[in-house]
Amino acid sequence: MKNNKLTIKFKEARDDLPYGEIFEGTVGPMMLIPNFLPPPEELAEAIKHPKITMTVTARTLKYFKSQADRLGSSYQRMMRNLLDQYVEKMEKIDAKRSSL
């Protein structure tokens, strides 16, 4: 049986890839989306938000703390900004998907 794996490794977005199209992946239907995750420098911006409690892995906490130290920022701010940017992108994808 032929293996239909789609492996794509690019450092920047490309317009010639089938973004948004559903294909059969290794664990079921999948959709390719551009890598929209920002670099740590963009996550260091300060904005006030409600407080929550969240549990993360030690690996994740270590990474964000080291990047925050390097940038002179707060790891909580960087994590919050990452989540905000993720939600912003996913809301656009959801709106596009619901309009089809």
For the chain, give every domain's residue range. Answer: 1-35, 37-98
Q: Is the pTM of this model over 0.85?
A: no
Q: What does the pLDDT average to over 50-73?
A: 94
Query: CB pairs under 8 A, 24+ apart, for 49-56?
Result: 49/80
Q: CB-based contacts of 42: which residues, under 8 Å, 6+ apart?
A: 81, 85
pLDDT score for 41:
79
Per-residue pLDDT of 78-98, as tens digits, reads 998 999 999 999 998 888 888
